[in-house]
C-alpha cells in the first residue's frame, strides 16, 4: 500500500485519536482489509498508525499514574493492571 505523506500524517492523527479502523480506511479511501494487513506488518503505514496510537496510550498511562499517586482507588487498580501486563510481557 502506497500512501502519500499527507495520508500518513492523517493516519498518525487518526491513530492518536483511536478512530476505528473501518473509519480510518474510509477517510484514507483504502480497503479496510489492506489497511489491517499493513498494520500487522512492519513499514511506514504501521509506523504512522502506531506512532499516533502510542502517543495517546502514553498520555493515558501518565494520567492514570498521576491519579493513582493522588490516591484514586480506581486509578490504582488500573495501574496495577498495567504493571501486571508489563510484567507478563517481559516474562
pLDDT tens by residue, the chain, 91 residues? 899 999 999 999 999 999 999 999 999 999 999 999 999 999 999 999 999 999 999 999 999 999 999 999 999 999 999 999 999 988 7
**Can you give the pTM of this predicted structure?**
0.85
Burial of 50 (0-12, 13-18, 19+ CB in 10 A): middle
Residue 7 falls in which region: left (phi positive, over 0), alpha (psi -120 to 50) or beta: alpha
Query: How far is the C-alpha of 81 from the C-alpha of 58, rounded, in Å?
Result: 15
What letter does residue 43 receive in the DSSP assignment? S
pLDDT per residue as tens digits for the range 19-43: 999 999 999 999 999 999 999 999 9
Amino acid at each position: 500500500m502506497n500512501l502519500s505523506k499527507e495520508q500518513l500524517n492523517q493516519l498518525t492523527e487518526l491513530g492518536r485519536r483511536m478512530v476505528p479502523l473501518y473509519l480510518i480506511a474510509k477517510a484514507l479511501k483504502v480497503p479496510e482489509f489492506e489497511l489491517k494487513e499493513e498494520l500487522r506488518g512492519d513499514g511506514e503505514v504501521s509506523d504512522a498508525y502506531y506512532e499516533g496510537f502510542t502517543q495517546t496510550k502514553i498520555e493515558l498511562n501518565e494520567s492514570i499514574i498521576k491519579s493513582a499517586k493522588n490516591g484514586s482507588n480506581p486509578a490504582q487498580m488500573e495501574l496495577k493492571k498495567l504493571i501486571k501486563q508489563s510484567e507478563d510481557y517481559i516474562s
